[in-house]
Chain A
Amino acid sequence: MADEFPFEISPMFEGERIRKDGMYAELAGPKSKGFELVRAADMDDVEDGKFTLIGPDISDMEEGSRHPLAMIYKIAGELVEADLESIVERRNHEFQNYIQGFMHLNQRDDVWMRVSKEAVEKGLTSFESVAKAIMMLFKNELPFIEKVEAIYITDMDEIEKEIDNAREVYKARDDRTRDLHDEDVDTFYGCTLCASFAPTNVCVVTPDRISLCGAINWFDGRAAAKVDPEGPQFAIPKGDVIDEESGEYTGVNEAAERLSSGEYDRIKLHSFFEYPHTSCGCFEVVGFYIPEVDGIGWIDRDFAGTAPNGLQFSTMAGQTGGGKQVVGFLGVGVNYFRSPKFIQSDGGWNRVVWMPKMLKDKVLNDIPEDIRDKIATEEDATDVDSLRTFLKEKDHPILERWVEEEEEAPEEEEEAETAPQAQGGFTAPQMMQMPSNMPSMPMMSGGGSGGVKVILKNAKVSIDKVIIKKQD
């Protein structure tokens, strides 16, 4: 199998590490220079399968030596476009690691490769075989690539000449990614990859909303949909804008209805409280409403402690998921914090009151500066009272929402004191102020000693055991 290559190609070699003593040559890396770059080109400008090497080949290198390496791939095809370059480029990392005895770390102009002694002994003596394997894999995985050619450079002067150009391309791409927003495109992408485990989940991926698992962005969706329009990632025409602020589109709603077999007919992409996006299971962070302060907290998988409401990540994550639309809890990928449309329908960052310190530090630069210090972490607030105090001290914008409540507060307290007598009927429970559109939320804190009014309608009462005793 695959006998044309002097090495094995398999995903099993992905985790292979080549240490110093097993290394034949080190390429690029922190002590040298190099980069990887994929460029879309016209059909006529690409000679399929061609390989050009500028500089010495592996066989010319001494054992244990270090060399610069740049890898440029030119791709062409009817469906190839510049927006797909980064997707293909990222595969270079994965595929080079498939090669036994070849290690690839990092990306872009940080790349760092090693070839093992063993591989060289077995015949990996030329970059040509590496480049040919990568080109073959590119075409197999992404058949929209009709032609591909590779240029590898191991000559330092030559690399110096090209590297600035490459950096400009990266920058332009980053600018494009950053400046590309929901309003700039007419197509979103749906992803049902996780339907194999979460059968009813549909992820809508837009320029401003990465998939919940964090693995698929809009560009990935676009590339995959080109490869196989009927595959697990597919285009969702955006349709008409119903509400730009909350991110509601006719196309998304139609897709939601169709894909959930009618279970949901509305999804607002940037909303927490109204028709939020469904959650799968692998979301990295779960957001939760804290009714006592009318704010939203976020807690991530790696945080083992409890949020101010006394609950852990796993407990709250358990409230949502499985492709269900659950108001009050929202699973997201960490990258969604970087979206300029981050829950913008509900006040965006101004509504955020708490997150674990590690998570906050991770996204610190994406938090608007004026609110950065006003979001509490576990170091500032461990329960609702200390959270309230912290928010007051810091004059968090959420305070503006409290005005109404505070006026009512004294009355509530009185009620709480007189609550316990249940005389015939039941007194109303002491409930928090909630937005009117919220379905009932779980009571987070105990403490309330009031009675409960129970209304039985279409109820089933199941009794484990009935003990009949003679009355005295």
Chain B
Amino acid sequence: MSDIETGQFSIDDLENVQITIGKIVGAIEKKAQEEGVEIGPTPKPGISGLRDWDYKLLSRYQPVYTPVCDQCCYCTFGKCDLSGNKEGACGINMEAHQARETLLRVITGAAAHAGHGRHILHHLIDLYGHDKPIDVGPSNLLAPNTQAVTGIRPETLGDLEEVMDYVEEQLTQLLATIHAGQEGAAIDFESKILHGGMLDHVGMEVSDLAQVSCLGMPKSDPEAPLVEIGMGCIDSSKPVLVVIGHNVAGVTNIMDYIHEHDLEDKMELAGLCCTAIDMTRYQTDQGQLPRAKVIGTLAKELKMIRSGVPDVIVVDEQCVRADVLDEAKKLSIPVITTNEKIMYGLPNRSEDKPEDIIEDLSTFKEPGALILDFDVLGEVAPELTLKMSKIRDEIGIKALPTDEELQELSEKCVQCGACELDCPDNLPIMEAMRAGVDNDFSKFEYLHDKCIACGRCDQACPKDIPVLNMIEKASQKLIREEKGFMRSGRGQISDPEIREEGVNLVLGTTPGIIAMVGCSNYPDGTKDLYSVADEMLKRNYIVVMSGCSAMDLGMYKNEDGETLYEKYPSKFLAGNLINVGSCVSNSHITGTAIKVAAIFAQRNVSGNYEEIADYITNRIGAVGVAWGAYSQKAASIASGCNRLGIPVVVGPHGSKYRRALIGKPYKEEDWKVYDARNGSEMPIPASPEFLLTTAESIEELLPMLAKNCIRPSDNSMGRMIKLTHYMELSQKYLGHMPEDWYKFVRTETDLPLAKREELLKMLEKDHGWEIDWKRKKILSGPTMKADVSAQPTNVKRLCKGEC
């Protein structure tokens, strides 16, 4: 018996063999089998499984490191100075260490999502059982990332467990390589980074599939409702319960309790960060109205707490400030922690009676409680809120300074500059203090919109001036007006929508897809997001939002008082604005790209990651923007996009990631692919030009977006439109024609229509191209030819005759 091994083997004779079929696959699977659709070459790839693909990407998009710190402090051999090509005590060099740092960041982010996914999956299986079907809307490919990576085609919640097993196992393997004395080559750390990013999208997908299927969230719904957002939409005269974090599991019990006890009109339920988004998705798939309000992103956490408005704060996991308990304590706000990832040293009251917990917290016996039992939580949080509201009214909580105090505090300032030095955006705080001495607080209002409320100024001030409170106090009027609308998270993009949009993508009417994702770490608040989205939407790009960006976009209004969510429709169509949902919904953006490959090219998805990524790299004009990327999760999400060949631009603060993946447009040999029809080499345009880079301003960003939607397979109509926008945006925002525009021209039909003649003249004069003026045709000049039937691929084995 020990002869039996895993792998492939032949059986010569079958006699008296009984085959037991444990599970009948549906009609589709049977057909798929009959048609010979099989699992691709890399189901559940290990760390080396897609290394060849990574190397292909990394040879074109080479890592650039800009270390902020030259030392490695990972072990007690060190710390080691790695500057000037020195090796550390363990032999690691600067490049490898920098890549290792990024890897750590990426797998931390991936683990945050995967941990979230495992938690909510567990929870929902407990409630709904293993056999609860996955139901995410009208799609064939329910779990594109999962299927492409693992080869598993999950149909039920139970099927997702095996997927999580795989993700967790791989994350452990990756984490192991961070240890001293493991990987030594930067390039292989880079490949591991891409692996971690890919895993992240699987973990995110599992989280969202599970919650969309069970919690009545919109299922690929273009008509997902508009939700109130902003500090100004909170009615502070009512008892206010504020929820912070990313994992909505326990919060749904609170919402049910409020609903069942008719408390909806008697109190305010509002959220910060992605829990807020998911609260507004809960039980809205049958057209019900959202049962919660959204305050905003991480950047509003401290401001909201310091306002003293919350009567109770409930936190779950991720992106929750570590000082929530300390800050809340000062203002007599009890804090309930509900997830093992954040417990703040509070006593575990999960087994206790709700009334006992309420009694202890309302008498300030304890500043808060850990409650892991969601039924207990469901009752305690709202009831405590009602009770605390009265108690806190009676005590009379003074949260912010008075007007007189504002002036006095301003006088206290000695203009030492410590706050500005510590401010991540170097905001002009001293100037506001100077004006404040003369009772002019308008400059604090200016700070309010730019400030990300990190609170470092408070920490830095040698005079203990509560700078953040001053900003908040001076901006009360602005804050009351901080009301907007966000479209609730719609979930996946459905197959029928992708098919409908296909014509636009093909004919170039949709020049590309811009995914604005990530956190709220930007110097110019919501306005940048608004300006970028509006410009691209006007140009018929599809703009996809998620997470914190989705929230912040809803905070800015145009002169008609409209947010972009009100201005633009929300289908997956040219010129539409979509919110897929919370942080874990980011997986639907990559999922959509995978679906395009499955739908239009009938590519096998299962375990066929490389081929899918190759298709996306060469054909799908999508660019990610993480304008305010701050977290480790943002790094892992971007890396997951990168492995699929989707480029990502991070905002000014993104340079702190200390790493970029940048191509060299001038190196011709880097920009060649195979034509899958015959395996011959073909030149391609240098786009996307990078996989990960930084833009310093939106003026730099906008033309970059248009340019990097260009793909080798563009037909002439598509290229013409993309080039038109690239050139127009460059002129509009940078004031000049892009230097490299002509490199994207293969034929006269690629030229922007309105300027064709003029551009032909320039090609002739400046670049020496030959033009047949009678027929207005380009005779010679372009380095590549337009052949819409060419099939660009980076993977030799996908060429005809290769396998």
Check B138 for interface membership: any CB of A closer than 8 A: yes
Q: How far is the CB of B592 from chain A (nearest CB, A)?
A: 13
Instruction: Give a binary string over B421-438; 1 marks a CB under 8 Å from any A CB, 0 the rest.
Output: 000000000000000000
Nearest A residue to B162 via CB reads A464
Would A140 and B756 count as touching, CB distance under 8 A?
yes
| Segment with Cβ contacts to B, from A5-13, A235-243, A365-373, A390-398 | A5-13
Of the stretches A265-273, A312-320, A403-411, the one at the interface is A312-320
User: Which of A33-41, A49-57, A192-200 lies at the interface with chain B?
Assistant: A192-200
Asked if residues A197 and B27 are in contact (CB atoms below 8 Å), the reply is no
Name the distance in Å between B660's Cβ and chain A's nearest Cβ.
29
**B731 located at the interface, meaning its Cβ lies under 8 Å from any Cβ of chain A in the complex:** yes
Tell me if A137 counts as interface (CB < 8 A to partner B).
yes
Is there an interface contact between A197 and B619, defined as CB atoms closer than 8 Å? yes
A61 to B601 Cα, complex, angstroms:
54
Quote the shortest CB–CB distance from A246 to chain B (angstroms).
24
Tell me whether B800 and A195 are in contact (CB under 8 A): no
The answer to whether the Cβ of B69 comes within 8 Å of any Cβ in the partner chain is: no
Name A456's closest neighbour in chain B (CB-CB): B14
Query: Does A1 make an interface contact (CB < 8 A)?
Result: yes
Contact status A304-B506, CB under 8 Å: no
Residues from 1 to 36 in A contacting B, C-beta threshold 8 Å = 1-2, 9-12, 14-15
CB distance from B219 to the nearest CB of A (A): 10
Residue of B nearest to A322 (CB): B602
* Residues of the A chain whose Cβ atoms lie less than 8 Å from the Cβ of B31: 319, 441-442
Question: Do A193 and B715 touch (CB < 8 A)?
Answer: yes
Are A317 and B496 in contact, CB atoms less than 8 angstroms apart?
yes
Q: Which residues of B contact A227 (CB under 8 A)?
A: 749
In chain A, residues 86-125, which have Cβ atoms closer than 8 Å to a Cβ of chain B? 98
Chain A residues contacting B704 (CB-CB under 8 Å) are none
With both chains docked as a complex, state the minimum distance between the C-beta of A80 and any C-beta of chain B, in angstroms.
14
What residues of A have a CB within 8 angstroms of the CB of B140 in the complex? 314-315, 317-318
B717 an interface residue at 8 Å Cβ cutoff?
yes
CB within 8 Å of B: which A280-317 residues: 280-284, 301-302, 304, 311-315, 317
The answer to the question of A82 belonging to the interface, with a C-beta cut-off of 8 Å to chain B, is: no
Interface flag for A454 (CB, 8 Å): yes
Q: Is A143's CB under 8 angstroms from B776's CB?
A: yes
B140 nearest CB neighbor, chain A only: A318
At the interface, yes or no: A58 with Cβ under 8 Å from chain B? no
B575 touches A15 (CB 8 A): yes
What's the minimum C-beta distance from B7 to chain A, rounded to whole angstroms? 9
Chain A residues lying within 8 Å of B765, measured Cβ to Cβ, are none
Tell me the nearest residue of chain A to B39, going by C-beta.
A462
Do B502 and A282 have beta carbons less than 8 Å apart? yes
A333 CB to nearest B CB, Å: 10
Residue among A133, A228, A281 with the highest chain B CB neighbour number at 10 A = A281
Q: Is the CB of B27 within 8 A of A1?
A: no
In the complex formed, the residue of B with least CB distance to A305 is: B138
Tell me, rounded to whole Å, the shortest Cβ–Cβ distance linking A133 to chain B.
8
State in angstroms the CA–CA spacing of A159 and B8 once bound together.
80
A442–B749 Cα distance when bound, in Å, is: 45
> Complex: how many Å from CA A216 to CA B619?
22
Per the bound structure, the CA–CA distance linking A311 and B140 in Å amounts to: 11
Query: A178-212 toward B: CB 8 Å interface, digit per residue (1/0)?
Result: 00000000000000111111111000000000000
Given known A228-B749, A315-B140, contact A193–B8 (CB-CB < 8 A): no
A468 is an interface residue with CB less than 8 A from chain B: yes
A172 in the interface, Cβ–Cβ < 8 Å?
no
> In the complex, which residues of chain B have a beta carbon less than 8 angstroms from the beta carbon of A460?
8
Q: Is the CB of B600 within 8 A of A281?
A: yes
Report the Cα distance A1→B575, complex, angstroms: 26
Write the chain B residue with the least CB distance to A197: B600
Q: Please determine whether A10 and B506 come into contact, CB atoms closer than 8 angstroms.
A: no
Whether B757 pairs with A140 at a CB distance below 8 angstroms is yes
For residue B498, which residues in chain A have a CB less than 8 angstroms away from its CB? 281
Task: Indicate if A428 sits at the interface (CB-CB under 8 A).
Answer: no
Size class of the contact patch on chain A = 35 or more
Say yes or no for A440: interface residue by CB 8 A criterion: yes
Which listed residue (A195, A280, A439) contacts B502, Cβ 8 A? Answer: A280
Q: Are A213 and B602 in contact (CB under 8 A)?
A: no
Measured in the bound complex, the distance between the Cα atoms of B791 and A373 in whole Å is: 47
Closest chain-B Cβ to A75's Cβ sits at a distance in Å of 16
Q: Output the least CB separation between B480 and chain A (Å).
A: 30
A431 at interface (Cβ–Cβ under 8 A)?
no
CB pair A194 B28 closer than 8 Å: no
Asked if residues B754 and A9 are in contact (CB atoms below 8 Å), the reply is yes
Q: How many residues of B contact A (CB 8 A)?
A: 70
What B residues does A228 contact at CB under 8 A?
749
Which of A10, A232, A259, A304 sits near B138, CB closer than 8 Å?
A304
Complex-state Cα separation, A215 to B1, whole angstroms: 63
- Indicate the member of B1, B31, B540, B754 with the most A CB atoms within 10 Å: B754
In the complex, whether B677 has a CB less than 8 A from a CB of chain A is: yes
**Given contact pairs A1-B731, A301-B496, A442-B28, A194 touches B600 in the complex (Cβ within 8 A):** yes
Q: Say whether A47 faces chain B, with CB atoms less than 8 Å apart.
A: no
Report the bound CA distance from A437 to B606 in whole Å.
30
Is the CB–CB distance between B502 and A466 below 8 Å?
no
User: In the complex, which residue of chain B has the Cβ closest to the Cβ of A94?
Assistant: B753
Q: Residue A192 contacts which of B505, B724, B789 (CB distance < 8 angstroms)?
A: B789
- Judged by a CB distance under 8 angstroms, whether B494 is at the interface is yes
Q: Considering the chains assembled together, what is the distance between the CA atoms of A1 and B736 in angstroms?
A: 11
With an 8 A cutoff between CB atoms, is A231 at the interface? yes
Q: Please tell me if A452 contacts chain B, counting CB pairs below 8 Å.
A: yes
State A351–B89 Cα separation when bound (angstroms). Answer: 79
Report B685-733 residues with CB < 8 Å from chain A CB: 711, 713-718, 721, 724-725, 728, 731
A302 to B507, CA, bound (A): 21
Contact A215–B503 (Cβ < 8 Å):
yes
B596 CB within 8 Å of chain A: yes
- The distance from the CB of A117 to the nearest CB of chain B, in whole angstroms, is 16
Contact B575 A198 (CB under 8 A): no
Q: In chain B, what residue has the closest Cβ to A441?
A: B31
| B237-261 near A? 1/0 per residue, CB < 8 Å | 0000000000000000000000000
Give 1 or 0 for each of B530-549: 1 = CB within 8 Å of chain A CB.
Answer: 00000000111000000000
Take A10-B724, A214-B503, A261-B677 as given contacts and tell me if A137 and B754 are in contact as well, using a CB distance cutoff of 8 Å.
yes
Q: Which of A414-455 contact B (CB under 8 A)?
A: 439-444, 446, 452, 454
B28 pairs with A193, CB closer than 8 A: no
16 sample A-B contacts, Cβ–Cβ < 8 Å, listed by A number: A2-B755, A11-B721, A193-B788, A195-B713, A195-B789, A197-B713, A199-B713, A228-B749, A232-B716, A259-B789, A282-B501, A283-B499, A314-B140, A441-B31, A442-B28, A442-B30
Give the 10 A-B CB pairs with smallest separation, nearest first. A322-B602, A282-B502, A442-B27, A281-B600, A318-B140, A314-B495, A9-B754, A197-B600, A442-B31, A140-B756
Query: Contacts A195-B715, A213-B506, A441-B31 given; 6 further ones with Cβ under 8 A?
Result: A136-B754, A193-B507, A196-B718, A322-B599, A322-B601, A322-B603
Measuring CB to CB, which residues of chain A are less than 8 angstroms from any residue of chain B?
1-2, 9-12, 14-15, 98, 133, 136-137, 140-141, 143, 192-200, 213-215, 227-228, 231-232, 259, 261, 280-284, 301-302, 304, 311-315, 317-319, 321-324, 439-444, 446, 452, 454, 456, 460-463, 466, 468
Binding site for A on B (CB under 8 A): 1, 4, 6, 8, 11, 14, 19, 21, 24, 27-28, 30-31, 34, 138-141, 494-496, 498-503, 505-507, 538-540, 575, 596, 598-603, 619, 676-677, 711, 713-718, 721, 724-725, 728, 731, 749, 753-758, 775-777, 788-789, 791, 800
